[in-house]
Amino acid sequence: MFGQPLRSALSRAEEISRAYGVDVVPALAILVLVLTLHFYQRQRDAAAAARLAARETDAAKRHAKDLARLVDASQALANALDHGQLRVEAWRHVPALTGGRTAWVAATEPRSWHWIMEPDLEQEAHLLDLAPTLLQLTEAGQHRHEGWALFQLRSSGRPLGLLAVEDSPTLTDADQRRIETLAAIISIAVKNVQLFDEMQVSSVSDALTGCFNRAHAFATIDSELRRARRNGRALSIVMIDVDDFKRVNDLNGHLLGDAVLSSIGETLRRSLRSSDIKCRYGGDEFIVILPETPLDGAEQVADHLRRAIERVEHPGRARPFSIEVSLGASAAIPGEADTLALIGRADAAIYRDKCRKAPALRLVGSASRGVRGSASA
């Protein structure tokens, strides 16, 4: 194919060489070599550009996939309104965004830490105990500890917890950026859950005493009665009424009366178990719900609360004073479902306690027998 053209070119070059005394053949050879090298380099550059474009395309696809996962995680975690739902969504989305590396997420409350996503490791409890120390390390600028890369969860400048990711092999810059974004998303979700919890508590709480309100008391007793019927466990309540509270307001003013009620709420929080539910029933009345507590246990609680409340001194206008309270305890009858009946028996027991202490009431209440200490039904 090229033989004849090449022979013609070489013949023409020899004629030029004889006619003009110029050696054209070496120049043609050099030109051919240069052109060959030029085209070869262009092919190499084109191949390199194609490989670079392919890598950039792959990187763009991975980035787009990561971005889609982050968007999905952001939407799912932002919609979590309680700790249980937050845990479910964390388990769904975090492993994919950490590249399959072992990871764990823990959040801090005022007095404790809790898991959002615990690691499937034997040292699980140890890591939760270590979490406050690891948080301090991140505050000091250390973001790696014993094979873990540490990412702080923060909101409004306040630490909320930690996201820890296995750091072997070492995280790439892209991994680091992706997980930092994930930590920011989890921070928002944790803060949302905390705000929702606070909103729920405030909606069922009494601002003056810090106890739950009357509506929450009825709902809780109804729920505990159903639970008691299912598992056959005991349930008791204690009602508390401040004696002659109107006189306290009349002699010392309503602001001091409010301070007395607030003090009772504080005494209840200090004196009872965390599982006991403290509620303001209305006015100067309180109700304490005691799950898995029989009547004799409720009477002991009532006696303890009486002493604790009456021991507190309040600064009156003329001189310091203390208050007296009447208490009544009642226990759920096996299989009982009537919340009002349970409260009614405790209320009747309070009346008997008042009759025991007030001679003027004894004739009116002669049909009811008072029980020394706390009254019970």
Q: What is the mean pLDDT of residues 159-163?
A: 94
Percentage of the residues of the chain whose pLDDT score is greater than 90: 54
- Among 128, 108, 103, which Cα is nearest to 178's? 103
How many residues are present in the chain?
377
For 97-138, what is each residue's pLDDT tens digit?
A: 998 899 999 999 877 899 999 987 677 778 888 999 999 999
Which residue matches tokens 């998303």?
185
Spatial separation of the C-alpha atoms in residues 220 and 291, rounded to whole Å: 10
pLDDT of residue 127: 87
pTM (predicted TM-score): 0.56
Q: Which fold has domain 214-376?
A: Alpha-Beta Plaits (3.30.70)
* CA separation, residue 278 to residues 16, 74, 152, 296 (Å): 115, 37, 36, 19
pLDDT of residue 374: 45
* CA separation, residue 299 to residues 168, 180, 279, 340, 375 (Å): 59, 55, 18, 20, 8
For 313-357, what is each residue's pLDDT tens digit?
A: 999 888 899 999 999 999 999 999 999 999 999 999 999 998 887
Name, in order, each residue with C-beta under 8 angstroms of 367's C-beta and a sequence gap of 6 or more: none
Spatial separation of the C-alpha atoms in residues 272 and 186, rounded to whole Å: 35
Q: How confident is the model at residue 187 (pLDDT cuts 50, 70, 90)?
A: very high
Name the residue ranges covered by the structural domains of the chain. Answer: 3-57, 79-202, 214-376
Q: How confident is the model at residue 372 (pLDDT cuts 50, 70, 90)?
A: very low
Which residue matches tokens 């949302």?
192
Q: Which range among 13-17, 193-197, 235-239, 352-356 shows the weakest confidence by mean pLDDT?
A: 13-17
For 52-104, what is each residue's pLDDT tens digit?
A: 877 777 766 767 787 888 888 889 998 888 889 999 999 999 998 998 899 99
Residue 235: how many CB atoms within 10 A of its CB?
23
For 198-248, what is each residue's pLDDT tens digit?
A: 887 777 888 899 999 999 999 999 999 999 999 999 999 999 999 999 999
Q: Which fold has domain 79-202?
A: Beta-Lactamase (3.30.450)
| Strands 325-331 and 375-376, bridge-based pairing | parallel
State both tokens at 51: 């490989």
pLDDT of residue 21: 65
Which residue matches tokens 């719900």?
289
